[in-house]
Amino acid sequence: MDVIALDDPTDPQIRGWHAVLAAVHAAEPDGEPTPQPHQTAARLLGAEQGSRQRLWAVRSGAEMIGVASLRLPGEPGADRPGEIDIHVHPDHRRRGMASGLLAVAADALRADGRTSVIAQVLARPAAVGFLEAHGFRLVLTLQGLLLRLPDLPPGRVDTLLASGPSGYELVRWCGVVPDEYADALAKAKHAMADLAEYEGAPWDADRVREMAEMVAKRGDDLYTVAAVQDGAIAGFTEIVVPADGAGRAAQYDTAVAPEHRGRRLGIWVKAAMLTWLAGERPEVTEIETDNSGDNAHMLAVNEEIGFRRERESREYLASADDLPSS
Ligand SMILES: CC(C)(COP(=O)(O)OP(=O)(O)OC[C@H]1O[C@@H](n2cnc3c(N)ncnc32)[C@H](O)[C@@H]1OP(=O)(O)O)[C@@H](O)C(=O)NCCC(=O)NCCS
Domains and CATH numbers, the chain: 3-142+315-322 (3.40.630.30), 153-305 (3.40.630.30)
| Residue of the CA atom closest to atom 29 of ligand 1 | 133
- Mean pLDDT in residue range 55-76: 96
Q: How far is the CA of 155 from the centre of ligand 1 (A)?
A: 47
Expressed in angstroms, the distance from the first to the final Cα of the chain is 11
Q: Which residues of 23-43 are buried (b: 16+ CB within 10 A; e: fewer)?
A: bbeeeeeeeeeeeeeeebbeb
Q: How far is the CA of 99 from the centre of ligand 1 (A)?
A: 8
| Residue of the CA atom closest to atom 9 of ligand 1 | 98
Alpha helical stretches, state H, 191-284? 193-199, 205-217, 265-280
Neighbouring C-beta atoms of residue 235, cutoff 10 Å: 27
| Residue of the CA atom closest to atom 37 of ligand 1 | 126
Rounded to the nearest 5 percent, the helix, strand and coil shares of the chain are: 40, 30, 30
Q: Counting atoms of ligand 1 from 1, which one is nearest the CA of 68?
A: 48
pLDDT recorded at residue 200 = 57
Cα–Cα dist 5/188, whole Å: 41
| Residue of the CA atom closest to atom 17 of ligand 1 | 130
Cα–Cα dist 56/46, whole Å: 15
Q: What's the chain's average pLDDT?
A: 93
| Residue of the CA atom closest to atom 43 of ligand 1 | 127
pLDDT recorded at residue 198 = 45
Lowest-pLDDT choice from 50-54, 107-111, 271-275: 50-54
pLDDT recorded at residue 96 = 97
Cα–Cα dist 309/288, whole Å: 10
pLDDT recorded at residue 199 = 54
pLDDT recorded at residue 194 = 47
- Mean pLDDT in residue range 235-258: 92
User: Residue 201 pLDDT more than 70?
Assistant: no
User: Residue 86 pLDDT more than 70?
Assistant: yes
| Residue of the CA atom closest to atom 42 of ligand 1 | 87
Closest CA relative to residue 294, chosen from 315, 273, 265, 310 = 315
Q: How far is the CA of 43 from the centre of ligand 1 (A)?
A: 23
Q: How far is the CA of 294 from the centre of ligand 1 (A)?
A: 27
Q: 193 falls in which pLDDT band (50, 70, 90)?
A: low
Q: How far is the CA of 97 from the centre of ligand 1 (A)?
A: 8
Q: How far is the CA of 308 from the centre of ligand 1 (A)?
A: 29
Q: Ligand 1 pocket: which of 94, 99, 122, 326 to mutate (most atoms <8 Å of CB)?
A: 94
- CB–CB of 147/182 below 8 Å? no
| Residue of the CA atom closest to atom 21 of ligand 1 | 126
- CB–CB of 74/207 below 8 Å? no
pLDDT recorded at residue 47 = 73
- CB–CB of 140/315 below 8 Å? yes
Alpha helical stretches, state H, 83-204? 97-111, 125-133, 156-162, 179-189, 193-199
Q: How far is the CA of 65 from the centre of ligand 1 (A)?
A: 13
Q: How far is the CA of 130 from the centre of ligand 1 (A)?
A: 4
pLDDT in tens, 11-48: 999 999 999 999 999 999 887 778 899 989 999 998 77
The answer for residues whose C-beta is within 8 angstroms of residue 301's C-beta and 6 or more apart is 254, 266, 267, 270
Instruction: Provide residues with CB under 6 Å of ligand 1.
Output: 24, 84-88, 93-99, 119, 121, 125-127, 129-130, 133
Neighbouring C-beta atoms of residue 149, cutoff 10 Å: 17
Q: How far is the CA of 86 from the centre of ligand 1 (A)?
A: 10
| Residue of the CA atom closest to atom 34 of ligand 1 | 94
- CB–CB of 100/3 below 8 Å? yes
User: Residue 195 pLDDT more than 70?
Assistant: no
